[in-house]
A = this chain, B = another copy of it.
Amino acid sequence: MPKKRTEKKLVGLGEDVLKDIKQKKNPKIEIPIRSLSNVVYDEKTKSLTLGDKVSKRFFFNVAHAKKFMQTMMVAAFCKELLNEKIHTSLRDMYYNLKHTISNSDENTFDEQRESDPIVIDLEVALDVLREQLHLSADVRGRAVGNVTILDRGDTVNLAKLGSGGYAIPSNIEDIKFKKVNAKYILVVEKNAAFERLHEDKFWKKHNCVLIGAQGQAARGVRRLIQRLSNEFKLPVYVFCDSDPYGWYIYSVIKFGSMSLAHVSDRLGTPHARYIGLTISDIEKFGLKDFTIKTRDVDIKRAKDMMKYKWFQHPAWQKELKLLIKGKRKAELEALSGRGLRFMTEKYLPQKIKNKEFLP
């Protein structure tokens, strides 16, 4: 039971501190460092992960004492959430924990930006997801396909949700997949493309699960992609704008992100592949008239990405170079220049048939 495990870890944190106190030691909490200096790309697992640098937070240290107290408060709060079977947001937690310490004019927390990083600290220190600590993240994204899930007691068939689809929640941990009948998962960056594919019944014809991320994939979306593809051995194809931001969205789904490197193993999907758009597609699919001039920030980002270890594959280096040289980018909607159903009927089927994916 993952819930019992999370509870045990929270209790363990408290017990370690108690042990220190009983032994008259300076109570401490060990927290792996998650600054960029400790983020490494693991070539073997194809994911961003944390190195082995660890920091210690001591109770009897003027520079640590307040953070130590805050860490204990957040941990106790999460334990309470688990006991009460209640989930909440970071902002609600902040308001709930904020108060003036009696006989002082010191607040427990002055700003939410003090409590947010503590949650990440606990996520790293205890090696759990914040969703397992019952702290929900932002929600965004929808899904449709031949997938039947059990979610909070309800059996939901994602093939029978009309035009709307299933609103992907923050917490995917407690969802059970009852029946999955699909050949692959298609993740679409933009809602307009999701709507097009949904209306054209692409997921029915091609028997896939269609997930609309609506921009950068929320944690719930990333976790859903990972669980679904791992538990049912489904390939994952990611479909984004042909620009550095779109490629970054893909890379986060696949490799993880630098700021959340400690959870790449639970939110990343290293076997995901990139189906498009690419700069090469512009020529190949006659999209030249529908491209956009890059902005300076695109070029800068592309140059940065060329150095990332997880973008070293020659195919990606080629695309990045093409973008930098040609100074043109293309959005998913550019495919509509070739006809509204070009994406559904030509582009995607051809790419999938010929296995034209980037790694």
Q: Which residues of A contact B (CB under 8 A)?
A: 81, 84, 86-89, 91-96, 98-100, 136, 138-139, 142, 149-156, 160-171, 174-175, 191-192, 195-196, 199, 214, 289-290, 331, 333-337, 339-341
Contact = CB atoms under 8 A, between A and B. Distances in A.
Nearest to A87: B199
A170 B153 CA distance: 28
B164 A95 contact: no
B163 A95 contact: no
A98 B163 contact: no
Nearest to A86: B340
Copies in the complex: 2
Contacts of A87: 195, 199
A98 B91 CA distance: 44
8 nearest A-B residue pairs (beta carbon): A151-B162, A89-B192, A167-B167, A92-B336, A142-B167, A154-B162, A163-B169, A164-B167
Given A164-B166, A334-B95, A88 B340 contact: yes
A33 B335 CA distance: 34
Contacts of A150: 162
A344 to B, nearest CB: 10
Given A142-B167, A151-B163, A163-B152, A290 B95 contact: yes
Contact of A336 (B96, B142, B331): B96
A161 B161 CA distance: 9
A89 B334 CA distance: 12
A199 B88 CA distance: 10
A348 to B, nearest CB: 15
Given A98-B289, A337-B96, A340-B96, A170 B195 contact: yes
Contacts of A149: 162
A192 B88 contact: yes
Contact of A136 (B195, B334, B337): B195
A199 to B, nearest CB: 6
Contact of A154 (B139, B161, B174): B161
